[in-house]
Amino acid sequence: MGELELGGGRLKKELDAAIYLQEGKNNDRFATHPTPQTMRWYLLAHSRYYYVLELMAALFLLALGLTEKPPAGASTDVNRLTLPVYVHATLEVLSLIIIFAGLAVKLKWQGGKLFFTHKRTSLKVIIWCVVFVEAIVVLVRRENHFRVTRSLRPLFLIDTHYCYGVRRVLRQILLSLPPILDMLFLLLFVMVIFAMLGFYLFSDNEKDESFRSFWRSFISLFVLLTTANYPDVMMPAYNRSRWSVIFFVIYIAVVLYFLMNLLLAVVYDTFTNIEKNKFRKLFLHKRQGVRKAYKLLHSECPPHRISWDTFKGLMSYYKPKRTDLEKYLVFKSLNTSQTGELSLDEFYNVFENSQMKWKRVTEHYNQWFSCFKSCNCLYRTLKVYVAEALLKILGLGLRKYFLSGWNMNTSWEEEYKEGGYYYLNNFDDLLHSYGGDSFHDIRLGQIILYVILHCHNEDMKIKMEISVTYEELLDLGESYVTDLQPNQTVNYTGKRTKTKMDLNIKMYDDEVEQWIRNERPPDRGETSARASMIEDTRRMPPTNSPSPPVSSSGNGVVTDGIMLGNVNTALDE
């Protein structure tokens, strides 16, 4: 969102429409739409610098865990990154002050009522207060104590702009818990019944330790749910009476094969329904944002459409880094009717088409593109390889990293073998838990294979080709026609990656059409355009070709199957 800017010191229609588009895209509440008085705070809260600063503060707050020594001193290794208490406590307070500044900006923009009625924001304020008070206590005492609030630090990172996908998944998991908990209670109830029955059936067997008490009976059957103790848990009872096998067969059939699969089905169905409902809300919210922007931008005179100059002004705020040529290509890709003006149905695709990256199609375009694509894949591979190497060097140290081979690492057996067992636990601190010797399982070949397969996945691309004439480019600027001849046509190819929204639209194709039909009544711009079209149709002179029947009723005149009475009613509303 950090691309919107305030131009000329006044609130323009194009800026207001661009904000509506961003609110629809980001799923922001339209109730928090800024006023001219709160516009500066809105733009500050949605600037790229604010997003990056908030992200860096949250990451820095997490990174302080590398510098804080646990109060118990469980680890005997000397951590080279450990800082004095007053140093890391001061850094923690500074990070929290930056986060608080972001909250203050949102408060100035939204106002107290909307700010504190938002559940996630209120929870963040409470967590910030608790963490800040404890940081001040540590700074005053200059001594670490057992701090549970350290586990709350990742919540600040989750609330940043760049982690909106994580928040969406977490929200879906929380919403899916009620039906899942119902199934878990049913599973627990059945297990309690079988545990009680097993206790009364097999507790008199002195050789059977699994059912000596009700509690041990429940634990044994709980482990049997994973078949980890099968058939050992059954053998003492089976040795005494072979008919006891019926109890265990019924338990496994009911709990493991029926209830567990039923639980899996409930989880899948619940999560799928929540995902579908969330997609419906996001889809309709984006369309509502488009309608609000269209209502501001369309012309006052029929047929109430968006001209190229108005669209260019909109894109100057919505995508300010795009050139005039890229803006015109987006406009022309939207204008499928080739009328030179955008209707509402065409303007609905502004989110997708504005993400296109345009390239001019030349004679050697495909050859250069293939070469660039190969270099890009190699660049991605090297980035992943270098990132992994740096993490290992940071965790192991430079000397130990180069002394231990990646593919011939044979020293781990003597280091971790003890009493016939292997202990691969090296979680002494955060760095060694990731960059330890057990992490050497990752091979460079696996990384290369993954990146190459990812780079060549052309099915995840959406392409579009637009033709532009010499005269159209000349209207945009003489710099675009320096290497062209008059009457020459230039082709441009637009490409973008498929998003989750694209895949969901394809998955729920029938439902999407139903949602659109059940959507709210059209806005004034839509109904006015349709009424104007009908009036123009009525004024058309008769022709020799057969025309559709025209009839009238008490509600209005019907032309081409459209009732004018309904349109006038919508206009009055």
Judged against a pLDDT cut of 50, whether residue 1 lies above it is answered with no
Q: How many whole angstroms from its chain centre is CA 549?
A: 51
Express as a percent the part of the chain with pLDDT over 90.
35
As a whole number of angstroms, the distance between CA 288 and CA 282 comes to 10
As a whole number of angstroms, the distance between CA 513 and CA 278 comes to 16
Let me know the angle formed at the C-alpha of 470 by 467 and 474, rounded to the nearest 5 degrees.
120
For residue 301, the model assigns a pLDDT of 82
- pLDDT one-digit tens code per residue, 36-58: 889 899 989 999 999 999 999 99
Helices and strands per DSSP (H, E), number in the chain: 27, 8
For residue 568, the model assigns a pLDDT of 37
Is the CB of residue 5 less than 8 Å from the CB of residue 319? no
* Local structure of 485: helix, strand or coil: coil
For residue 454, the model assigns a pLDDT of 56
Judged against a pLDDT cut of 50, whether residue 438 lies above it is answered with no
As a whole number of angstroms, the distance between CA 211 and CA 198 comes to 7
* Local structure of 360: helix, strand or coil: strand
What's 208's DSSP letter?
A: -
Q: Write the burial class of residue 396 (CB in 10 Å: 0-12 exposed, 13-18 middle, 19+ buried).
A: buried
Mean pLDDT of the 190-213 span: 88
Judged against a pLDDT cut of 70, whether residue 215 lies above it is answered with yes
Judged against a pLDDT cut of 80, whether residue 530 lies above it is answered with no
As a whole number of angstroms, the distance between CA 346 and CA 305 comes to 10
Pick from 444, 453, 427: nearest CA to 387: 444
For residue 400, the model assigns a pLDDT of 72
Max CA-CA distance within the chain?
A: 104
Judged against a pLDDT cut of 90, whether residue 150 lies above it is answered with no
Q: Which helix (H) or strand (E) holds 557?
A: strand 556-559
pLDDT bucket at 64, cuts 50 / 70 / 90 = confident
- The answer to whether the predicted template modeling score (pTM) of the entire model surpasses 0.85 is no
pLDDT bucket at 8, cuts 50 / 70 / 90 = very low
As a whole number of angstroms, the distance between CA 486 and CA 148 comes to 72
Mean pLDDT of the 509-526 span: 74
- pLDDT one-digit tens code per residue, 118-128: 889 999 999 99
Query: Peptide bond preceding 303: is omega within 30 degrees of 0, i.e. cis?
Result: yes
Judged against a pLDDT cut of 70, whether residue 376 lies above it is answered with no
- Can you spell out the DSSP letters for 130-179? HHHHHHHHHHHHTS----GGGGGHHHHHHTSGGGHHHHHHHHHHHHTHHH
Is the CB of residue 79 less than 8 Å from the CB of residue 429? yes
State the alpha helices, DSSP H only, in 203-259.
Answer: 214-224, 235-240, 245-251
As a whole number of angstroms, the distance between CA 464 and CA 360 comes to 12
C-alpha atoms less than 13 angstroms from C-alpha of 509 in its C-beta half-sphere: 2
For residue 341, the model assigns a pLDDT of 92
Express as a percent the part of the chain with pLDDT over 70.
73
User: What's the whole-number average pLDDT of the chain?
Assistant: 78
Q: Phi then psi for 27, rounded to 5 degrees?
A: 60, 35
Judged against a pLDDT cut of 80, whether residue 216 lies above it is answered with yes
How many residues in total does the chain contain? 573
Of 107-121, 283-297, 444-458, minimum mean pLDDT range: 444-458
Of 272-286, 438-452, 488-502, 532-546, minimum mean pLDDT range: 532-546
State the alpha helices, DSSP H only, in 410-523.
Answer: 412-416, 430-435, 444-455, 470-476, 500-507, 509-517
Of 3-7, 22-26, 510-514, minimum mean pLDDT range: 3-7
- Can you spell out the DSSP letters for 60-71? HHHHGGGTPPPT
For residue 374, the model assigns a pLDDT of 54
What's 306's DSSP letter?
A: B
As a whole number of angstroms, the distance between CA 107 and CA 157 comes to 19
Strands (E), 272-399: 357-360
Mean pLDDT of the 232-238 span: 88
- Residue 462 pairs with which residues in a beta bridge? 496
Q: Which amino acid is at 107?
A: L
As a whole number of angstroms, the distance between CA 288 and CA 266 comes to 33
Give the position of tokens 């059409």: 513
Which tokens sit at 567? 């349109």
Mean pLDDT of the 366-381 span: 58
pLDDT bucket at 288, cuts 50 / 70 / 90 = very high
Can you name the CATH fold of 170-279? Helix Hairpins (1.10.287)
For residue 551, the model assigns a pLDDT of 37
Domain boundaries, the chain: 9-70+81-168, 170-279
For residue 453, the model assigns a pLDDT of 56
Higher pLDDT, 562 or 275: 275
Q: How many whole angstroms from its chain centre is CA 518?
A: 27
Judged against a pLDDT cut of 80, whether residue 456 lies above it is answered with no
- In Å, what is the CA distance from 571 to each residue of 304, 347, 516, 530, 532? 14, 21, 20, 11, 12
Q: Which amino acid is at 329?
A: L
pLDDT bucket at 500, cuts 50 / 70 / 90 = confident
Q: Write the burial class of residue 225 (CB in 10 Å: 0-12 exposed, 13-18 middle, 19+ buried).
A: middle
